[in-house]
Amino acid sequence: SFILSQNFKGVIIAGGETTVTLAGPVGRGGRNQELALWASLRLEGKETLGALATDGVDGPTDAAGALVDATTRSLGDPEAYLMRHDSYKYLKKSGDLIVTGPTGTNVSDIVVYLRP
């Protein structure tokens, strides 16, 4: 957050795997889709975030992840989808899913944040 609070402009690339804690009935989605939808609530202007599984499979879906910006949240109430862990459904409606199919490789998840 220090970098972001200092008028940072550029790209941040991170690798690893986020953790999502599930409780109760859940919808469809994966950890990268959930991270991307959560980030869309915080992005401003032309900020963009992409989160994807390098193996092409994020959770029990056909998506590798999602590429989002501030307009992603314009469909209304992404928080409700996050509460149900149903990010896939929201991101499919918004057209922000990244679908690659299985890639045959796995070098972790990748998150790319852009602040132009």
Q: How confident is the model at residue 59 (pLDDT cuts 50, 70, 90)?
A: very high
Q: How far apart are CA 23 and CA 55, in angstroms?
A: 26
| Protein fold of 25-115 | glycerate kinase, domain 1 (3.40.1480)
Residue 8: predicted pLDDT = 83
pTM exceeds 0.85 = yes
Question: What's the gap between Cα 53 and its chain centre?
Answer: 10
Q: How confident is the model at residue 5 (pLDDT cuts 50, 70, 90)?
A: low
Burial 74-111 (b: 16+ CB within 10 A, else e): eeeebeebbebbbbbebbbebebbbebeeeeeeeebbb
